Amino acid sequence: MIPLIRSLTFWLCLASGVAAQGSGLVSLQTGQAGRGWEGVGRVDIDGKGFCSGALISEDLVLTAAHCLIDKDGTQIAANRFHFLAGLRTGRAEAYRDVRRAVAHPAYVLRTGRKSTEAVPFDLALLELSQPIRTSKVAPFPISGDVESADELAVVSYARDRDTASSLQDLCGVIAVQDGIVIMDCDADFGASGAPVFAVRGGVAQVVSIISAMAMLEDQPVSIGPDLGAAFEDLMTHFTESAPVWSSGGQRVITPGERTDTGAKFVQP
């Protein structure tokens, strides 16, 4: 197989950057347009900007690990994060503070160095201060099996479209190499952590997230981690490092487990 990874040049898609113009995006500004996607939300970071994230259980949000890293290379305190589920036209279906932010244990941000080495581990979990229990906001199931034939959909927030999420569907997988998924999906600044979905049997499953915008030769692409073992390792690390809360234990999910409540259907 041609080593496509070596041909990539990339940059993170944090919202503090200069916005890139996306194409093929549909704004989910109305309730009808956004129906089924309310579990995607904007992750606001005090003093830094925002990323995107997806609810994968009642109290867990999946996003990009680089969203947890401050400009000085230290991890941002959990109380600086806020999750706005289904945000559109300034109103969220649910708003939650974050009490714990955990990055993949193998993630290392090489500041100022354009390297793909961190991308396979660019995953993080945000534990919400209170679970989201509403029929309007359904968590998404995780799938660790991305296939080259998958037709993908990305739901994200970004600069210049930060008040409502946007949907790009029918983008696809170019290759999966060295734990990295290369996709022909759009990514703008702010899309970091945005879920990448494959819709199977009418159910949207998260198969990757947006880690970075990239150029493959002259073609703009997006790259993200191949969830698989990386997500399992993140869950193990999250569970093993969990404090004991006075309200009781935490729910732990595994790849392939259904976590929704019945709804079907960019480094950025």
pTM of the prediction? 0.83
* CATH class of the domain defined by 9-240: mainly beta
CA distance 14 to 135: 30
Q: Give the percent of the chain with pLDDT over 70.
A: 78
Per residue in 15-58, pLDDT (tens digit) is: 333 233 334 678 887 877 778 999 999 999 998 899 999 999 99
Find residue 62's DSSP bridge partners: 54, 125
In the 8-state DSSP scheme, what is residue 237? H
Find residue 222's DSSP bridge partners: 183, 213
**What one-letter code names the amino acid at 114?**
K
Per residue in 166-214, pLDDT (tens digit) is: 888 789 999 998 899 999 987 766 689 999 999 888 899 999 999 988 7
Cβ–Cβ under 8 Å, residues 227 and 234: no
CA distance 67 to 85: 17
Backbone torsions φ then ψ of 79, nearest 5 degrees = -70, 0
CA distance 144 to 123: 13
Nearest to 209 by CA among 70, 104, 100, 133: 104
Which sequence spans correspond to the domains of the chain? 9-240
Nearest to 231 by CA among 45, 108, 102: 102
Write down the pLDDT at residue 110. 59
Dmax over Cα atoms in the chain, in whole Å?
54
CA distance 49 to 68: 11
CA distance 134 to 157: 22
